[in-house]
Amino acid sequence: MPTEPHPALVAHVDVNSAYASFERVFDPSLEGVPTVVLSNNDGCVVAASKEAKALGIPLGEPWFKLQPRAAMTGLQARSSNYELYGDMSRRVMEVLERFAPTLQYSIDEAFLLLGPRSAETDLAAFGREVKDTLRRLVGVPVCVGIARTFTLAKLANRTAKKLPVFDGVCVWDSTRPEWRDALLARLPVSEVWSIASRLERRLAAQGITTVAQLRAADPVAIRARFNVVVMRTVLELAGTPAITLEEERIGKEQLIFSRSFSEPVTSREGMRQVLSVYGQQAAARLVRHHQKAKLLTVFAGTSHFAAQRDFPNMLVPLAAPTSDPVVLAKAAGRILPLLHEGTRYARAGIMLTDLRPADGQCAFEPFRFRHEDEGIAELVDQVNRKLGGGSVGLGHGGLRPGPQWQMKRQKLSPRATTHWDELALVKAG
DNA sequence: TCTGGGGTCCTAGGACCC
DNA sequence: TCTGGGGTCCTAGGACCC
């Protein structure tokens, strides 16, 4: 007799304390040790291992506050090594693809589209196999949540992470309904994907504070009082799929290159240099994505904590879609007159929007002079990729070693998977 | 002294067109 | 001369994500 199929199911998989786990793969001395990964400039904590969280270290905590206690608590810190994490992420996604069609959602999480399964499928066993395989092949710990909607799969994953009985795998519909209801009646709405502090406050004003209450709310009334996003969340909590996630999109809609400085930039001349370099970096990324931009936004800012605060920004339309570093750097420089000499700017950035494919044929593309050709961007990018970043650059961008304001990463681990000279060494002894 | 960086989606409102 | 409504496109801003 044929068994009833489950409705379409999704599995949510994510790497536990991702950046810290990636660091541990090539540095076993960190195993079991409280470990944090720091933001650029070694500013604040962006990832904390289980042991570090047990010490009560919240994400976002500035490193200068933790450092004094570090020796005493055995806390280890690493600068963020995005090249390593990006490559480890790629490995994780490759393994996941073996199990089911995969939608990558972020650097460390993905949804597996399981489709309908027969009721006899042992979903828990499937989840455990995913988990064990990633541990064996990539070396990272993950948790798995399986449910009928994206939102519930996220919630199941969170449950698997928090409650040891699940041992890292939670199949939502296999838990007892009374138990589930009791759990949701205890959880605050902010535990739900897409509900953060602002919405939490507004929902509380309507008397909705727990996940159970949100699930029971009338979707139409929610749509009227909030918006479609919250309505979809209500539907998803009740088991009705309402969110669509796109396949990996080809090309992005915007590109941001933004950095804070290791020490403040206080002069227009200094900022001209910064923006020249950032313009070239942004151009390099455009070229890598095979895109051109039509609109550039340039911004600078002091620290939010500074006495004298200033956040100038400017929109610069570009005459034609371009990825030319010279054009972008020059356009970014247009903000300079807005800056106040002597103000301590802590960061600057460039945002490129109205992006389009570089090879796209545009019937009305205006005639361009030779020097505005994309050739320069390509050439600079190729040379830098072959010989290392900063080998060539235009104007101020050619400086090497890096200038004073450049990002500080004093605790950087080797890029063990993407550079031959930084491979991990294993000694037999 | 020292507090990240890179994205997406939705909505409201204005400009403009028919 | 005066009047109406509906549609599209764009942008800024708010909110969220990891």
Check whether A395 has a pLDDT greater than 70.
Answer: no
Mean pLDDT, rounded, for A153-173 = 97
pTM check: above 0.85 = yes
Task: Quote the pLDDT of residue A366.
Answer: 39
Confidence at A372, pLDDT banded by 50, 70, 90: very low
Task: Quote the pLDDT of residue A362.
Answer: 42
**What sign does the CA torsion over A388, A391, A392, A398 have?**
positive
List A33's β-bridge partners, or say none: none
Spatial CA neighbour of A25 closest among A16, A96, A330 = A16
Residues 6 or more apart whose CB falls under 8 angstroms from that of A58 comprise A45
> Which tokens in the block code for residue A258?
């933004």
Task: Quote the pLDDT of residue A270.
Answer: 92
**What sign does the CA torsion over A364, A367, A370, A371 have?**
negative
Are the beta carbons of A380 and A303 closer than 8 angstroms? no
Pick out the nucleotide with least CA–C1' distance to A262: B2
Parallel, antiparallel, or unpaired for β A35-38 and A76-79? parallel
Residues 6 or more apart whose CB falls under 8 angstroms from that of A81 comprise A22, A23, A412, A413, A415
Q: pLDDT over 90 for what percent of chain A?
A: 60
> Which tokens in the block code for residue A422?
């930084």
Per-residue model confidence as pLDDT tens digits over A189-246: 999 999 999 999 999 999 999 999 999 999 999 998 999 999 999 999 999 999 988 7
Task: Quote the pLDDT of residue A185.
Answer: 97
Rounded to whole angstroms, the Cα distance separating A227 from A215 reads 15
Spatial CA neighbour of A114 closest among A127, A105, A104 = A127
How high is the mean pLDDT of chain A? 87
Task: Quote the pLDDT of residue A376.
Answer: 63
Q: pLDDT over 70 for what percent of chain A?
A: 88
Higher pLDDT, A3 or A150: A150
Task: Quote the pLDDT of residue A393.
Answer: 63
Spatial CA neighbour of A271 closest among A351, A352, A338, A333 = A333
A13 CB contact with strand B at below 7 Å: no
Most confident of A170-179, A267-276, A324-333, A388-397: A170-179
Pick out the nucleotide with least CA–C1' distance to A106: C18
Tell me how long chain A is. Answer: 429
Per-residue model confidence as pLDDT tens digits over A22-60: 999 999 999 999 999 998 888 899 999 999 999 999 888
Confidence at A360, pLDDT banded by 50, 70, 90: low
The side-by-side arrangement of strands in the sheet containing A9-15 is A102-106, A109-115, A9-15, A142-147, A169-171
Other C-beta atoms lying within 10 Å of the C-beta of residue A154: 23
The set of strand B positions with any atom below 7 Å of a protein CB reads: 1-11
> Which tokens in the block code for residue A347?
């960061």
CA of A300 to C1' of C14 (A): 21
Per-residue model confidence as pLDDT tens digits over A67-115: 998 988 999 999 999 889 999 999 999 999 999 999 999 999 999 999 8
Nearest 5°: CA angle at A366, between A360 and A369? 105
Reported in sequence order, the residue ranges of A20-148 that DSSP labels E, i.e. its strands, are 35-38, 45-48, 76-79, 102-106, 109-115, 142-147
Per-residue model confidence as pLDDT tens digits over A265-289: 999 999 999 999 999 999 999 888 8
Chain A residues 345 to 374 whose Cβ lies within 7 Å of strand B are: 346-347, 349
Residues 6 or more apart whose CB falls under 8 angstroms from that of A259 comprise A40, A278, A347, A348, A349, A407
Task: Quote the pLDDT of residue A252.
Answer: 80
Q: What is the DSSP string of A336-351?
A: GGGSPTT--EEEEEEE
CA of A318 to C1' of B17 (A): 26
CA of A265 to C1' of B5 (A): 19
CA of A42 to C1' of B6 (A): 17
Diameter over CA atoms, chain A? 81
A82 alpha carbon, distance to own chain's centre: 10
Pick out the nucleotide with least CA–C1' distance to A46: B4
A302 CB contact with strand B at below 7 Å: no
